[in-house]
A and B are shown apart, each in its own frame.
Chain A
């Protein structure tokens, strides 16, 4: 069975500082990996995805993530955060392809941007 662990429930960071949100997964098969963002009072929005190919994935709003198969990690990074990045971020994993496959979500990391 697959699982996702987001190592930090909350991350405070000063505006314009870099940030890394950590995500580790467990799976015995190849996987797809995702990061979603949820702004206050909204649904989840896809930030970026890794399906195959280059292990460095670029997403929207200046975020990127690196797939590390040996460490089973998919950490999310941004070199300089803005107050508008205040949100909850969810890492997710799924096996590729079967019709009834489900995405497994982590419990989320709240990013607090400090002025």
Chain B
């Protein structure tokens, strides 16, 4: 069974801090994704990556960056956290583009 592991379930940070969210998958999937989920807005894609060191902007990349140095790990970085980045963050992976995605349990991030 595919396992996608997000490093923290709950995280509290302060405005202006640099925040790292880590995600690891164990099934040698090519594609990895970062979403944020807010009530009434569904899932919004922040960034995705279809190969090591490759990244593509999603629908809402502003204020975020990503890193994929190894195939199994995809990190989301909030360069200078702001209160409007308080949200649930979901990481996912898939074998190929368009294939079913497998999700982690999410990180609920609060920026104070």
A complexed with B? yes
Q: Are A46 and B97 CB-contacts (below 8 A) given A99-B30, A99-B31?
A: no
Q: Is A114 an interface residue, CB under 8 A from the partner?
A: no
Q: Is A115 an interface residue, CB under 8 A from the partner?
A: no
Q: Is A87 an interface residue, CB under 8 A from the partner?
A: no
| A–B Cβ pairs within 8 angstroms, 26 of them | A32-B98, A36-B103, A42-B106, A43-B4, A43-B104, A43-B106, A44-B90, A44-B92, A46-B101, A46-B102, A94-B97, A97-B96, A98-B97, A98-B98, A99-B30, A99-B31, A99-B97, A101-B98, A102-B33, A102-B45, A103-B98, A103-B101, A106-B42, A107-B40, A107-B42, A108-B42
17 more contacts with CB within 8 A, not counting A46-B100, A95-B98, A101-B98, are A9-B40, A32-B99, A36-B103, A41-B105, A43-B4, A43-B92, A43-B104, A44-B103, A45-B103, A97-B97, A99-B30, A99-B96, A99-B97, A101-B97, A102-B58, A102-B98, A107-B41
Closest partner residue, chain B, to A98 (CB atom): B97
Say yes or no: B96 contacts A105, CB within 8 Å.
Answer: no
What B residues does A107 contact at CB under 8 A? Answer: 40-42
What A residues does B60 contact at CB under 8 A? Answer: none
Closest partner residue, chain A, to B91 (CB atom): A43
CA of A102 to CA of B48 in the docked complex: distance in angstroms? 9
Q: Give B residues with C-beta under 8 Å from A.
A: 4, 30-31, 33, 40-43, 45, 48, 50-51, 56, 58, 90, 92, 94, 96-106
What B residues does A46 contact at CB under 8 A? Answer: 100-102
Closest Cβ of chain A to B109, distance in Å, is: 14
Closest Cβ of chain B to A112, distance in Å, is: 15
Closest Cβ of chain A to B67, distance in Å, is: 18
CA of A105 to CA of B58 in the docked complex: distance in angstroms? 13
Q: Is A25 an interface residue, CB under 8 A from the partner?
A: no
CA of A36 to CA of B43 in the docked complex: distance in angstroms? 12
What A residues does B104 contact at CB under 8 A? Answer: 43
What A residues does B4 contact at CB under 8 A? Answer: 43
